[in-house]
Amino acid sequence: MKAVTRFYFDHNATTPLSPEVFQAMAPLMTDIFGNASSIHQFGQQARGELDRARRSVASMLGAKPEEIVFTSGGTEADNMAIFGAGGHVITTTAEHPAVLEAAAHLPDATFVPVDANGIVEPQAIAAAIRHDTKLISVMHVNNELGVIQPVREIARIAHQAGIMFHSDGVQAIGKIPVHVDELGVDLYSISAHKIYGPKGVGALYLRKGTDLRPLIYGGPHERKLRAGTENVAGAAGFGRAAEWVVEESAAEAARQSGLRDRLEQGILAQIPDAHINGAAATRVGNTSNIRFDGIDSEPLLIALDLKGFAVSSGSACSSGATEPSHVLAAIGLNREQARSSVRVSLGRSNTEEQVEALIEAVVQVVARLRKLAPAYV
């Protein structure tokens, strides 16, 4: 049997480790193995690498190195912000589960709805502010739709009220320019494995002077906010991935945007009753959430996988869930519409030829599935 050639179109779920990141990490897992808190030469070598990584991640965000707190990933960074604020939190109904579930476990939180494109109205956030509100958390880029939230305006609203502002920037870095001072964020969550770095390491930007309670207690690591021996190898990989973002991501993002536009044009031109969710909003250039009326996304995903194409039905953190995407429900899609949507997220490995092949495969599979769907006319 001929092997299937496989193409990866699920970069919002995770990205492959880049060769340059692997090369940066390898010595930290063999030769430079010391504990970064130790005062001997082994420890100080590790400390030097950790400091270098912190500077690189800070530079990517336009931040100071001392404002970067390394974590185990974006989820921990989000939880650190949500639980560390210590009071009433305002967020939206279209956030990543790392924010939604954390907020749901607070004594008090307000969830502000988004519009039909997944965008929250800043004045709706302002209207939800109370005397005891401590934090507003609105993601920068939605992981399922790719839409960009008006974080600058919301940050101004938060600061006018004397409230901390947090944004989940996991899906923003590497896709659009991010400068924390220009955004006005006090807290900003990021993750290495979305930018061709390793899994298991992320960071929380914490603006100098921002007061936050620790999520993990123990030693004085990471400004006394995240106890535990640091993952130096992971941080080094994150640092190298951050350097790639600074040096190369603008050109690569523009390339991917062209590929995404070609993908959407090809599908909409050849498949009737296909729709782009969130199309009327400003989006990052690598993400497309496409709805095909009359079919279920699960058999579509399976059929595409058999043809060698990896796409998804939404957040990887919700995989295995029987309920349709909460993001698609939040923008007003009914159950059937939400279950007929798939997400395509491009990355560095994708080419024009791969996109054309994916268009052809989607056209064939959707036509076949619609013939089998008695509800589709």
Q: Which residue is catalytic, options 128, 227, 317, 373?
A: 317
Asked if 51 and 177 sit in the same domain, the reply is yes
Asked if 222 and 287 sit in the same domain, the reply is no
* Contact of 144 with 343, CB cutoff 8 Å: yes
Asked if residue 2 belongs to a domain, the reply is no
pLDDT tens, residue by residue, 31-73: 999 888 889 998 899 999 999 999 999 999 999 999 999 999 9
Whichever domain contains 46, its CATH number is 3.40.640.10
Residue-averaged pLDDT of the chain: 94
> What does each C-alpha distance from 32 to 17, 44, 233 come to in angstroms?
20, 10, 9
Asked if 216 and 269 sit in the same domain, the reply is no
- For residue 244, pLDDT over 70 is answered with yes
Asked if residue 1 belongs to a domain, the reply is no
Domain final residue pick, 217, 245, 273? 245
Domain final residue pick, 245, 272, 295? 245
Asked if 98 and 121 sit in the same domain, the reply is yes
Asked if 72 and 193 sit in the same domain, the reply is yes
Asked if 47 and 160 sit in the same domain, the reply is yes
Whichever domain contains 330, its CATH number is 3.90.1150.10
Residue 137 CB neighbours (<10 A): 27
Asked if residue 65 belongs to a domain, the reply is yes
- For residue 230, pLDDT over 80 is answered with yes
In this prediction, residues 122-141 reach a mean pLDDT of: 98
Asked if 80 and 171 sit in the same domain, the reply is yes
Asked if residue 125 belongs to a domain, the reply is yes
In this prediction, residues 188-207 reach a mean pLDDT of: 98
Asked if 45 and 99 sit in the same domain, the reply is yes
CA 329 to CA 327: how far, in whole Å? Answer: 5
pLDDT tens, residue by residue, 71-98: 999 999 999 999 999 899 999 999 999 9
pLDDT for the residue 315: 53
Asked if residue 377 belongs to a domain, the reply is no
Angle among Cα 11, 17, 18 to the nearest 5 degrees reads: 105
User: Catalytic site residue 317?
Assistant: yes
Domain final residue pick, 226, 245, 264? 245
Asked if 48 and 79 sit in the same domain, the reply is yes
- For residue 320, pLDDT over 60 is answered with no
Asked if 321 and 367 sit in the same domain, the reply is yes
- For residue 375, pLDDT over 90 is answered with no
Q: Give me the phi and psi of 367, to 5 degrees please.
A: -60, -45
CA 84 to CA 101: how far, in whole Å? Answer: 15
Range of the domain at 155: 19-245
Q: How many distinct structural domains can be found in the chain? A: 2
Asked if 104 and 194 sit in the same domain, the reply is yes
Asked if 30 and 88 sit in the same domain, the reply is yes
Asked if residue 225 belongs to a domain, the reply is yes
Asked if residue 203 belongs to a domain, the reply is yes
CA 370 to CA 265: how far, in whole Å? Answer: 20
pLDDT tens, residue by residue, 249-306: 999 999 999 999 999 999 999 999 999 999 999 999 999 999 999 999 999 999 999 9
Asked if residue 172 belongs to a domain, the reply is yes
* Contact of 56 with 231, CB cutoff 8 Å: no
